[in-house]
Amino acid sequence: MRLTQALARIVPAQRAQGIPQEGVDPRLERSVLGDRVEQRAAHAPALRSLSRKNEGDHSRPPGGSHMEVTSNGALGYAQRVSGAETGYMETAQNNSAHEAATRLGQLKPLLTADPGNDRLARECIELALQAGDFGFVIERADKTLAASPSDPQALFDRASALMGACDYRDAIVSLRAVLERVPDAAAAQFNLGLCHYCLSEYPQARRPLEAAHAAGDASAGLLRVLVSTLHHLGEIDEAVKLCDENAPAAESDGALAGVYALAYLDANRADAAARWAATALRSNPDSLDGLVVQGTLSTARMDLGRARAAFERALQLAPSTGRAWIGLGMLALLANDPRNAITLIERGLQSMPAHVGSWHALGWAHLVSNDLDAAEAVFGRAMELDRNFAESHGALASIAALRGRRAEAQRAIDVALRLDPKCLGAQFARSVLTRSAGDSSNAERIIQTALAELRASSGGVLGKLMERATRH
């Protein structure tokens, strides 16, 4: 088998494990898989609110609070918690907040004159949340709680204000108190899950989000956070099942379409990923998820100019987007610039250190640079993250074969092929062993020949190799 054939798909799309998007951007834009804290904004929804029903509706839960799931608007205070889409959406959000602040300023004197007016107080609280006047909301809630410590509405209002101020930990305390009082409050379940999500506590986020969904919330906002949470947890099959079952919701919601695109990308469903990335970018040309998926798929098609433009735009919007850095690193590797590739990929790994495929990309970049020590260390790190990934065993088998450690290489090949009979790293390692059979005196020549052949094939072998790496 020729080396180029063996390597045609060598760095695969292993299921993303904790990897939608990343870093720490002022907008808290956290959405592409891979980076830990930064881009969640692109797919985060409006907070749910516990609001008063019409006066004619007397179906009160215990305690007298009226609770229903509503939205404070697609551009309301909730997106300050989890981030907002860029461009025109930010402008619309700012306008909405300004209008709310103006109206609140008009109503506050009336509330001071009539402090017992519950309907007026409710309107002021909703306006304050939209306007970002979180101190006002907390002050009102604390006054109510001083007289009635278990009042669910006041607890919920306090939690909403704390979320608006990005104090998710204290918000969780208040939301749990709400759920102790009203266990079936889907709004509180949603916001509890969102708080844990914004703290990157995905296992804790999953249960309340699933509870809200089971209670009937199939909104785009809930789906955005729940699909992303499952993706972060590496539950790709469950994530795409949710996408399949709720396709219509993403047709009119660009942020949700971007989350779907990324999930389908990591599920190796390129056609679906392309479809939803296009939907996301039609809705918002600066969709981070859409740009990253577009860049990744363009790299696979060897449309390198379009890929570079997508990755660079993503980094302009959110400089800690790990997948974009890694995408640029792969483009550098395809351009036969492994040193620059290593620098770029390492930059991306700072914000997505659990992304096994990116460690593989880095390992092959070191291998192409003829730095077997560094490559072996990097593939070892990938092995620590997922010992059941065949390509990690195959990559280490390749290193052992190139170093002439035949028995060790064969053992690793056997493990890799048991895990995946099509493991490409194992096929590459076999080709090296076959090439070196009976010729232990020319180890250096064998290594240089193999690496030269790999470097020369950058337009095909490395393209497929790097395309698969981004999805593991």
User: What CATH number corresponds to the domain at position 186?
Assistant: 1.25.40.10
| 282 occurs within a structural domain | no
Range of the domain at 185: 46-217
Please state, in angstroms and rounded to a whole number, the distance separating the CA atoms of residues 64 and 120: 18
Do residues 155 and 177 lie in contact, with contact meaning Cβ atoms separated by under 8 Å?
yes
Q: Is residue 176 part of a domain?
A: yes
Burial profile 10-49: b = 16 or more Cβ within 10 angstroms, e = fewer: bbbbbbbbbbbbbbbbebbbbbbbbbbbbbbbbbbbbbbb
Q: What global pTM score does this model have?
A: 0.76
Give the type of residue at 256.
L
In a domain, 18, yes or no: no
The number of distinct structural domains making up the chain is 1
Residue 288 lies in a domain: no
Give pLDDT, residue 336.
Answer: 85
Dist. CA 424–CA 462, nearest whole Å: 12
Q: What are the average pLDDT values for consecutive 10-residue runs of the chain, which has 472 residues?
A: 30 39 33 33 42 31 28 30 40 73 91 90 93 93 93 95 95 96 93 95 96 93 96 94 96 95 93 97 96 94 94 96 94 90 96 89 90 96 93 94 93 96 88 74 59 54 54 56
> How far is the C-alpha of 361 from the C-alpha of 332, rounded, in Å?
12
- As a whole number of angstroms, the distance between CA 237 and CA 292 comes to 21
pLDDT at 16: 40
Q: Quick check: is 62 in a domain?
A: yes
Q: Is residue 429 part of a domain?
A: no
- For 69, phi then psi, to 5°, come to -85, 115
452 part of a folded domain: no
Which ranges of 233-368 would DSSP assign to H, the alpha helix? 236-245, 247-251, 254-266, 270-283, 288-300, 304-317, 322-334, 338-349, 356-368
In a domain, 339, yes or no: no
